[in-house]
Amino acid sequence: MSGPQMSGLYIGLMSGTSVDAVDGALVDFSGRQPVCLGFASSPMPQTLRASLLSLQTPGDDELGRAALASIELTRLYAQVAITLLRKTGGRDADPAVLAIGAHGQTVRHRPELGYTLQLLDGALLAELTGTPVVCDFRSADIAAGGQGAPLVPAFHRAVFEDPTRRRAIINIGGIANLSLLAPGRPALGCDSGPGNLLMDAWIERHHGTRFDQDGRWAASGSVHRGLLEALLAEPFFALPAPKSTGRDLFSLAWLERKLPAGLAPEDVQATLLELTAQSITELALQFGAQEAFVCGGGSRNRSLMQRIGELLGEASLADTSAVGVDPQAVEAIAFAWLASRRLEGKPGSLPEVTGARGPRVLGALYPA
């Protein structure tokens, strides 16, 4: 996609399956390519994180706990949005910002049953920021028979497509997904499986930290081939696209059912890193990617990036800063882009990616 696609400023807000932070981007879409004018991030408070993670599985008073967590999360989203709004002229809300695109926090994702659930109070976010809000981006695609995920390939095509090279755009959050971009061809994409979430959960259990800095703990262990084979035997990995997944499947409970007795924790971590690397690169290699660009938190895991590069062979590997976009801001920018599509009444989904019956305009709009 070339030439001006939309006008004005938008804010995108994102919290992903890692449940570690709310990221926000202030984006100008008036030129040929989006320009990120500001980025802000706020760590997820531990109590809120625990509440959101507890809602991933059935429990008592789920509706009440979900409503309260949604309000608290929305207030955190609003703090990040107001930080960005002030960058436009010192006010809490600036009319130059046409809308906020807010993803919300996924707590259940069961497209095979016809639903996906992202917690966020769009009306409250609009009230707190004085800015129109677009949220609930996945429901329209689900209603049309799609997976509701991943939604970013349409944005990746608009921003990262190259006229001569086959590219894979790899987003490594809690779950990893790929966008596969070939010159003159429709974009493809799907979730590949776990990104950071199993590695994060395993190191948090054993060391009390939220993530494995640079993959150092994984690098101290050895891949256990028997465990790796057991993990890769999960039917999800053999499914053809379109497909998507989440914590509903890939959880510590899932991992524990497959663990052999007596395995050193660092060897489990090394094996989880290998699982992420292999499941990502298998899709990229099947596509015939000539180059791959990584975004999301996984781009900062040196051991993971090194292993992906080794498995890709002759295909080059870099993070998205090599093509002009901060790898930590890509998803937030994507939801700003999706909000702009909603306001212009243009589809934001790709049925060839999600499996829906056709492209759909995505998102519910809450006026300021």
Instruction: Give residue-wise pLDDT tens across range 18-55.
Output: 999 999 999 999 888 899 999 999 999 999 999 999 99
Taking the C-alpha atoms of residue 337 and residue 11, their distance in angstroms, rounded to an integer, is: 9
Instruction: Let me know if residue 294 belongs to a domain.
Output: yes
Distance CA 214, CA 290 (A): 26
Does any domain span residue 34? yes
- DSSP class of 239: P
Confidence of residue 95 (pLDDT cuts 50, 70, 90): low
Instruction: Provide the pLDDT for residue 259.
Output: 97
Which of the listed residues 288, 307, 323 is the one where a domain comes to its end?
323
In this predicted structure, the answer to whether residue 92 has a pLDDT above a threshold of 70 is no
> CA-to-CA distance for 351 and 118, rounded, in angstroms?
21
User: Residue 263 in contact with residue 216, Cβ under 8 Å?
Assistant: no
Q: Is 1 a domain residue?
A: no
* Residues near 156 by beta carbon (within 8 Å), at least 6 away in sequence: 169, 179, 181, 187, 189, 334
pLDDT (average), residues 227-250: 97
Residues 280, 224 within the same domain: yes
* pLDDT for 74 beyond 80: yes
Is residue 1 scored above 70 in pLDDT? no
Nearby residues of 198 by Cβ (< 8 Å), 6 or more positions away: 250, 252, 255, 272, 275, 276
Mean pLDDT of 173-198: 97
Are residue 244 and residue 279 in the same domain, yes or no? yes
- Whether 358 shows a pLDDT value over 60: the answer reads yes
Q: What's the rounded Cα separation, in Å, for the pair 121 and 204?
A: 29
Q: What is the pLDDT of residues 257-272, one digit of tens each?
A: 999 999 999 999 999 9
**pLDDT (tens digit, 9 = 90+) per residue, 268-305?**
999 999 999 999 999 999 999 999 999 999 999 999 99
**Mean pLDDT of the region 127-148:** 97
Amino acid 87: pLDDT = 81
Domain of 290, in residue numbers: 153-323
Assigned domain for 4 exists: no
Percent of the chain at pLDDT exceeding 90: 92
Instruction: Name the average pLDDT for the chain.
Output: 95
Which of 229, 234, 222, 233 has the alpha carbon at shortest distance from 263?
Answer: 222
Q: Is residue 138 in a domain?
A: yes
| Domain shared by 180 and 285, yes or no | yes
| 158 shares its domain with 143 | no
Residues 183 and 76 in one domain: no
Distances (CA, A) of 219 to 169, 202, 211, 297, 334: 25, 14, 14, 18, 32
Confidence of residue 91 (pLDDT cuts 50, 70, 90): very low
- Is pLDDT above 50 for 228? yes
Say if residue 187 is in the same domain as residue 123: no
Report the CATH number at residue 259.
3.30.420.40
Edge to edge, the sheet with strand 188-194 lists: 188-194, 175-181, 167-172, 291-295, 316-319
Contact between 173 and 23 under an 8 Å Cβ cutoff? The reply is no
Q: Which alpha helices (DSSP H) does the chain contain, by range?
A: 46-54, 62-86, 122-129, 139-143, 153-160, 197-207, 216-219, 225-232, 235-238, 252-256, 265-287, 302-312, 330-343, 351-354
Is 176 found in the same domain as 138?
no
Residues 160 and 216 in one domain: yes
- Domain count for the chain, please give it: 2
- Between CA 159 and CA 326 the distance in angstroms is 13
Compute the average pLDDT of residues 245-249.
95
Rounded to 5 degrees, φ, ψ at 316 are: -80, 155
Do 204 and 230 lie in a common domain? Answer: yes
Domain identity same for 29 and 116? yes
Confidence (pLDDT) at 7: 59
Model confidence at 3: pLDDT above 60:
no
Q: What pTM was estimated for this model as a whole?
A: 0.94
- Residue 332 one-letter amino acid: A
Tell me, yes or no, whether 135 lies in a domain. Answer: yes
Q: Give me the pLDDT at residue 341, please.
A: 97
Does 175 score more than 90 pLDDT?
Answer: yes
The alpha carbon of 51 is separated from its chain's Cα centroid by a whole number of angstroms, namely 20
What does the longest C-alpha to C-alpha distance in the chain come to?
Answer: 60
Instruction: With a cut of 90, say whether residue 222 has pLDDT above it.
Output: yes
Asked if the bond preceding 242 is cis, omega within 30° of 0, the reply is yes
Residue 128 and residue 273 share a domain: no
Whether 126 has a pLDDT exceeding 70, the answer reads: yes
Same domain, 132 and 245: no
- Indicate if the pLDDT at residue 337 is higher than 90: yes
- pLDDT of 94 reads 52
> What is the bridge-based pairing of β-strands 188-194 and 133-135?
unpaired
